[in-house]
Every structure is written in C-alpha cells, then in structure tokens.
Amino acid sequence: MLSESDIMTALRDCFDPEVKLNLVDLGLIYAVETGPDPDSTPAWPRQWARVKMTLTTPQCPMSGMILEQVRNRLLGIPDLSKVDVELVWEPKWTPHRISAAGREQLHI
C-alpha cells in the first residue's frame, strides 16, 4: 500500500520550470490522500491518490504543464489506478512555504 510519503517522494520528480525547484520543496503540495480503489482493473490491490496543491501565482503561465506533470508522474506508478489533482488558492502560497532544502538549493 502506498503511503503519503511514497506519493510525496514521487512528486519530488516534478519541477516548477521557472524556479527549477521540485514542487514539494517549493511548498506547492498542500495535502496528499490515498485509498484503496475497489473498482480497479486488473484486480490486484490498487489505489487512488488525491493531491491538493497550489501554484506560486494564479497567473502562472505554466499552470497547465505543471498540473499535467503531477498527474502523469503519479499515473506512472503501477499501484495507482486513479489520480485527482485539485488546484487551490487558499491558503495563498508565500516563499515561507519553501522547505529548508529548497532554500539551500535556491541560496536564500
């Protein structure tokens, strides 16, 4: 069974193309949920994943690409049969959400 930590690890492969930092360390991933998918086929235990995320700004010109990147990365995990990515604007993203590792990489 995949955990929230497994999903977050996978999302570290997704980057903001302008900032060149992964979405997790940038603080754009707000929540991850997983659960069993009783309707999945083939019939081995598979799961769904739901990601709640934001962007640095509502006017982000790369928003479509970033959301597609997240969906595609997660759908590439064999144990996931369904992926839902919810874009939210509350709470508003601020640079304070950047992780310590992200700050080090950005030299801030």
Q: For residue 1, what pLDDT is reported?
A: 83
Question: What are the pLDDT digits (tens) for 39-56?
Answer: 877 667 789 999 999 999
Residue 84 has pLDDT above 70, yes or no: yes
Confidence of residue 76 (pLDDT cuts 50, 70, 90): very high
Q: Bridge-partner residues for 84, per DSSP?
A: 50
pLDDT in the model for residue 43 = 64
Closest CA to 66 of 15, 28, 25: 15
Superfamily of domain 4-94: Fe-S cluster assembly (FSCA) (3.30.300.130)
Average pLDDT (86-108) is 95
Give residue limits of the domains in the chain. Answer: 4-94
For residue 25, what pLDDT is reported? Answer: 98
- Rounded to the nearest 10°, the torsion over CA 89, 93, 99, 103 is 140
